[in-house]
Amino acid sequence: MIDFNNLSRVHEPKKIEKGIYEWWESQGYFRPEKQRELGLVKENGPRFCITLPPPNVTGVLHLGHAIVLTLEDLMTRYERMKQKETLFLPGTDHAGIATQNVVERELAKKEIYRKEIGRKKFLKEVWDWTNKCQKIILGQSRSMGASCDWTRNRFTLDERYSKAVITAFNHLYKKGLIYRGKYMINWCPGRCESAISNLEAESEEYESYLWYLKYPIIMDKWNGPKEEWASGNWAKGATEFIMLATTRPETLLGDTAVAIAPNHQEFSKYKGKTAVLPVLGRKIPIFEDSYVDPKFGTGALKITPAHDPNDYEIGIKYNLEAITVIDKSGKMVPEYSGKYANLDRFECRNEIIKDLEKEGLLEKIEPYSHTVTHCQRCNTIIEPRISTQWFVRTRTLAREAMDAVKSGRTMMIPEREEMRFYQWMENIRDWCISRQLWWGHQIPVWYCSNGHEICEMEEPIQCPTCNDKTLKQDEDVLDTWFSSGLWPFATLGWPNLESEDFIRYYPNNIRETGIDILFFWVAREMMLGLELTKQSPYRICYFHGIIRNDQGKKISKSMENIEQYDPLKIIEKYGSDSLRFTFIANTVPGKDLNLGKGLLKASKNFCNKIWQSTNYILSNLDKTEKIERFSSLDQMEKLHIGDRWILSRLNKMIKKVNNYYEEYSYINAARSIRSFFWDEFCDWYIEISKIRIYDENERDKITPISILLYVLEITLRLLHPIIPFLTEALWQTLPEKVKDGPALIVAKWPEFDESLIDDMLDQDFGLISSLIREIRRVRKEFNIKPGLKIPLIIQTGDNRELIKNTASEIIALSHIDQNQFKIDETDVPKHSARIVLQGIIIYLPLEGIIDLNIEIERISKQIKLIEEHKQKSEKKLSGPFSQRANPEIVQREEEKLKQLKERKRILEEQLEILR
Ligand SMILES: [Zn+2]
Ligand SMILES: [Zn+2]
């Protein structure tokens, strides 16, 4: 635990973050029950609930999880400070195929194989792995500062959650929304040996070939092959052939037709004839169909309904037989493959091509590039396959989900995602929910020996139709998205509608997730949520972008220096607050973030700045006898213009930032607070306040100190949701008198005070700060020693009052000699630098301040040097360069010349003053 009284003088995140997290957790602030008990929220006041997208138990967290944790924690902390009862509910996802694969890979290293050890032992291994992973994920989430209620931590395979999954299945089954059917699915014949969703398949351009094959046609004189296949005489006697092109010659074993494009010049005459399929000699029909693209290959296609999704559709249309010739593991099925029996599909391809050539049935081979689909998990080429699977009927569910978005019951941020959502939902196919895996929720359906199908919550004793007692449960498990699709309500106690959590926190307020997961997950949650609870599962759906490296590349495990993108390593080096600030100050919903060291360093600098400024302010507390809380009413008379200015700026900023938080525009909130704190509060107000704090004769030190504390305390509150650790640590060190409550995490969100906002004052002070900046610039240009107090003559124009009121600020902040600060004097010494700004003219007499001769020499040298560069550039531009070089480079050169001329003009003016 942390000792707030003994914080180090410098910001050392490692020393504070863990302790602060433990302290928050031990105080119970993350738990809604405790929030009520402590009187922080009203019993039946507004509530806020967000369910954390459960990380997969496949390994440690990466930056994608870190941004999720940051954004959702920010939202939760903000709402908690708005005095809502908040629940940030965490958990993990069993992640079916992904986890099974990881564990299989791990076991293979020890030469242990899934199929050898069997289902029961294998599942025990996966559970061990899961428990280990969950511990790591828990620790990582804590180090990100996520203020989750860990007492409600859920896992998609825990007992209560599993009950929800089975209830959902039963409900949909009994309503006819789940059915078992034959379907062409993506099949991974690799390590997965399972159906793969479209979303788990990745398409890639692939350099391959187009094989032109000839199938002989039955004619009066030739009635089919007489000789063995691969004898070289198989097609002997055939006179007519139809030629077609294919990218997959091995599938010809499953061909059941040849289709030709309508009105084909050469092949129309074969319409209605019969072709003989090479290898087994099967006789197949030739017909015409507009599906065939006349421009592809020869304008004729082999039709393989069992191994191509488009051919499958044609097969249904013409009632063709679908013959599966490739088995679950990618090997040729003996019954249909003759001499190629049991060969791997790609070996078969090589062999069959050799034999086709031998038989004179291979016309030619052309290089051809086309897209090939790979399994995302094991990279095996996907095999389309007809198999019996379980499906969810999605048509009506999708319509409900679209209606919920159209009617505004669920809103998407950014809004353009709604269009993508509709497009997807309008084209949705039935959702294949069965997976041939071991790790997951086993399908709650049993079969009796007479083939009756029984769907129940628990294992039935006998078949209700035939009373048979030998029942067998379906071996498949459910798609992992089926269970995660129930996340917003199954975590809250559904299907128990009386559950207090379900009543209090459903629907969730927001679903925040990566943009890449819209269809995987959000679509499922919307469909299942609306069907099962009759409510949209959340009101807002907020999508953040994907995190990339500083060159804009997607961060992947195979990347070089991948460890520098490990969130724990980043936290170790920069601190959790810096990482969080980097995310928030640089991401817009739906846009990707290129994360580099530069951004992290900038955030760390900002954190240091807050730490040091706070320490500086606290170190001045002994300058005043008592500490007062600033309250606008009784102190207004004592305020200087600078005080009123910072109060106006602060309240304007609060107003703006509150809107940004309400509009989910966190990037603008973070940047506004940073620029206020750094550019206005630290750079100006802290400097101005020193005038009174360090003046021996000044009696009122309470005012500047109470304003310093007031601005600081509010800024810490505004920053808390973004950088919780550092703000809590510093807030705890502020005097009790200037804050309310036991902890910043449960402090009230700041409101702005309209009466303190003064636009005129902002303008006036803006003018004064510009003047001071100009004086500082001139001092630098003439090489005036930084601390040296110099004379100044100011002709105030219309601003006499303003200048008089701010004289002490101008004098202090631009190091002017108080006795030589002259207002509206007309007698200006010869060697004086001049500044003109909005009708105000300032003269800085230089004689006696700098050595005129040395400066003349220095500036003359500079002019000479610039002149040389200028001539070079002019020569270059007048030569052949300007015609030949890239116009962009020429433009850059012209720009350079312009700058040189301008610089020379300024230096010549300075020289004029000095001579
Ligand atoms: Zn696979
Ligand atoms: Zn039965």
Q: What is the pLDDT of residue 697?
A: 84
CA 477 to ligand 1 centroid distance, Å = 16
CA 467 to ligand 2 centroid distance, Å = 6
Q: What is the pLDDT of residue 182?
A: 86
User: Quick one: which ligand is closest to 469's CA?
Assistant: 2
The tally of CA atoms less than 13 A away on the side-chain side of residue 806 is 26
What's the mean pLDDT in 243-261?
95
What's the mean pLDDT in 36-49?
92
Q: Two tokens at 337?
A: 């493959």
Q: What is the pLDDT of residue 885?
A: 82
Average pLDDT, the chain: 92
Q: What is the pLDDT of residue 410?
A: 95
Q: What is the pLDDT of residue 888?
A: 87
User: Quick one: which ligand is closest to 196's CA?
Assistant: 1
User: Quick one: which ligand is closest to 448's CA?
Assistant: 2
User: Quick one: which ligand is closest to 187's CA?
Assistant: 1
CA 189 to ligand 1 centroid distance, Å = 7
> ∠ CA(477), CA(482), CA(487), 5° rounding?
130
CA 451 to ligand 2 centroid distance, Å = 6
Q: What is the pLDDT of residue 558?
A: 63
In angstroms, the Cα distances linking 681 to 214, 508, 643, 739, 756 are 82, 38, 11, 19, 16
User: Quick one: which ligand is closest to 186's CA?
Assistant: 1
pLDDT tens for 366-385 read: 999 988 999 887 889 999 98
Q: What is the pLDDT of residue 442?
A: 96
pLDDT tens for 762-773 read: 999 999 999 999
Q: Cβ contacts of residue 535 below 8 Å, gap of 6+? A: 506, 507, 529
CA 459 to ligand 2 centroid distance, Å = 14
Q: Cβ contacts of residue 912 below 8 Å, gap of 6+? A: none
Q: What is the pLDDT of residue 4?
A: 82
User: Quick one: which ligand is closest to 201's CA?
Assistant: 1
**pLDDT bracket for residue 850 (50, 70, 90):** confident
pLDDT tens for 388-425 read: 899 999 999 999 999 999 999 999 999 999 999 999 99
Q: What is the pLDDT of residue 913?
A: 84
Does the pLDDT value for residue 53 go beyond 60?
Answer: yes
User: Quick one: which ligand is closest to 453's CA?
Assistant: 2
Rounded Cα distance between 154 and 53, Å, is: 11
User: Quick one: which ligand is closest to 97's CA?
Assistant: 1
**pLDDT bracket for residue 500 (50, 70, 90):** very high
CA 889 to ligand 1 centroid distance, Å = 51
CA 339 to ligand 2 centroid distance, Å = 41
pLDDT tens for 270-286 read: 999 999 999 989 999 99
CA 465 to ligand 2 centroid distance, Å = 5
Does the pLDDT value for residue 633 go beyond 60?
Answer: no
CB atoms within 5 A of ion ligand 2 belong to 448, 450, 452, 463, 465-466, 468
User: Quick one: which ligand is closest to 470's CA?
Assistant: 2
> DSSP of 379-398, one letter per residue?
-PBPEEEEEEEEEE--HHHH
CA 98 to ligand 1 centroid distance, Å = 10
> DSSP of 179-230, one letter per residue?
EEEEEEEEEETTTT-EEE-GGGEEEEEEEEEEEEEEEEB-BTTB-S--SPTT
CA 432 to ligand 1 centroid distance, Å = 16
Rounded Cα distance between 160 and 162, Å, is: 5
CB distance 276 to 216 below 8 Å: yes
CA 387 to ligand 2 centroid distance, Å = 23
CA 247 to ligand 1 centroid distance, Å = 22
CA 101 to ligand 1 centroid distance, Å = 8
CA 872 to ligand 1 centroid distance, Å = 64
pLDDT tens for 172-206 read: 999 999 999 888 888 999 888 888 877 678 888 88
CA 794 to ligand 2 centroid distance, Å = 103
CA 668 to ligand 2 centroid distance, Å = 64
Task: Please report, as a single letter, which amino acid is at residue 326.
Answer: I
Rounded Cα distance between 686 and 612, Å, is: 12
pLDDT tens for 421-455 read: 999 999 998 998 999 889 999 999 999 999 999 99
Q: What is the pLDDT of residue 632?
A: 63
pLDDT tens for 117-159 read: 999 999 999 999 999 999 988 989 999 999 999 999 999 999 9
What's the mean pLDDT in 667-681?
96
With H, G, I as helix, E, B as strand and everything else as coil, classify residue 276: strand
Round to the nearest angstrom and report the end-to-end CA distance of the chain. 68
Does the pLDDT value for residue 67 go beyond 80?
Answer: yes
The proportion of the chain whose per-residue pLDDT surpasses 70, expressed as a percent, equals 99
Nearest to 394 by CA among 418, 362, 428: 428
Query: Helices 567-574 & 63-81, crossing angle to 10 degrees?
Result: 60
The tally of CA atoms less than 13 A away on the side-chain side of residue 472 is 7
CB distance 214 to 242 below 8 Å: yes
Does the pLDDT value for residue 55 go beyond 90?
Answer: no
Q: What is the pLDDT of residue 152?
A: 96
pLDDT tens for 317-368 read: 899 999 999 999 999 999 999 999 999 999 999 999 999 999 999 999 999 9
User: Quick one: which ligand is closest to 376's CA?
Assistant: 1
pLDDT tens for 503-525 read: 999 999 999 998 877 778 999 99
CA 165 to ligand 2 centroid distance, Å = 25
pLDDT tens for 761-811 read: 999 999 999 999 999 999 998 889 988 999 999 999 889 999 999 999 999
Weakest-pLDDT range from 54-63, 227-236, 313-322, 777-786: 54-63
Does the pLDDT value for residue 539 go beyond 60?
Answer: yes
User: Quick one: which ligand is closest to 467's CA?
Assistant: 2
Rounded Cα distance between 577 and 604, Å, is: 8
Q: What is the pLDDT of residue 557?
A: 64
CA 381 to ligand 1 centroid distance, Å = 8
User: Quick one: which ligand is closest to 451's CA?
Assistant: 2
Q: What is the pLDDT of residue 71?
A: 95
